[in-house]
Amino acid sequence: MQSRLGLYTNSASNLGIDQIEARIRRLRMRIDGFIITPKLSYSIQLSFARADTDFENSGFVNIVRDAVLFYNFTPKFYLSFGQNKLPGNRQRVNSSGQLQFADRSIVNSTFNVDRDFGIKLYYKEEIEKVGLNLKGAISTGEGRSVNFTNNGLAYTGRIELLPFGKFKNEGDYSEGDLERESKPILSVAGGYSYNHKGQRTGGQLGKELYAERNFGTLIFDLVLKYNGWAYYAEYMDRRANNPITTNELGSIRFIYDGKGVNQQLSYVFKRNYEIAARYSFIQPNKSIVGLESKTDIVELGATKYFNKHRVKAQWSVFYNVKDGNYAINNNLNHWGTMFQVELGI
């Protein structure tokens, strides 16, 4: 459960409150187990908060986030069938309960490939203490909110290299160095997702396009941790030949054709207080420059971990900048602050 209070100003110079966000951001239940043999396992995750049900895009409530079967051929190789996260960018694959800020970056929200129904393969190997993870998926490309889809599919692949070996307790998919790695530890990754005949503005996410489109998303990310310090960086680039669609009334829906970069730096003190800084931006390509503007967000955060990521209190303040103009008198800019408490098991 994530309980949240956020305040957003009218502009950078007018600090009057324009909007208040006071809500349960996430409320989820997860069930894991196996059937007959541990080689055949399953994972189910249900969501009950409005922001988690895709209501704004689809118009109906969908509480099913994950419903997937796994078959473990060996400890290093397994296959999944069903609905869960695609092997996309690291921050999206990270559980929302493992984040060091209250939410993921604007880069993730704009370009991530999210959940989908399909078949996925995972293989991991360690060669002379160098870790190698290979992940691939063939999925519907329409996300988790459809009953039927067209004959287009999405194809996603990802490669991860861990040159200094494994992270403690799978810390490469948990933000912040709560494990206080005793030596520098690094994971670098690259991936690509191609959506053929996509029907939504974000592929697996977003509103319905007025016409099918083909587009691809390129992903690079890395995470470095050592002795309480953590650095995370992510680059995403989405390309569509003709990203804009229109209907008979002249309404427009489009794919965000552009790129984004996110960087986060943090330090966890020995009493489990953390300070963190984040800088992220998204920038449209020329094809949609009249519909979207460049957005930068600079954010500072502080977290108190009571039981690692399971029980924590988070606070942050950020500055949202439009068109690269950081001036206080730019009325398109605004400030925001957010406080969130997370309770998990």
What confidence tens digit (pLDDT) does each residue in 295-337 have? 999 999 999 999 999 999 999 999 999 999 999 999 999 999 9
86 or 51: which carries more pLDDT confidence?
Answer: 86
Alpha helices in 119-164 (DSSP H): none
pTM of this prediction?
A: 0.94
Q: Residue type at 253?
A: R
Which sequence spans correspond to the domains of the chain?
Answer: 2-27+73-343
The position carrying tokens 């996309």 is: 88
- Fold observed for domain 2-27+73-343: Porin (2.40.160)
The position carrying tokens 């060091």 is: 100
**Residue pLDDT, tens place only, 232-257:** 999 999 999 999 999 999 999 999 99
Cβ pair 68, 85 in contact under 8 A: no
Q: Residue type at 209?
A: L
Planar angle of CA 301, 302, 306, nearest 5 degrees: 140
**Residue pLDDT, tens place only, 3-41:** 999 999 999 999 999 999 999 999 999 999 999 999 999
Contacts for 142 with CB less than 8 Å, ≥ 6 apart: 116, 149, 198, 199, 200, 204
**Of 90-104, 138-152, 196-210, 311-325, minimum mean pLDDT range:** 138-152
132 or 149: which carries more pLDDT confidence?
Answer: 132
At residue 153, the 3 state secondary structure works out as: coil
For residue 60, what pLDDT is reported?
80
The position carrying tokens 């108190």 is: 304
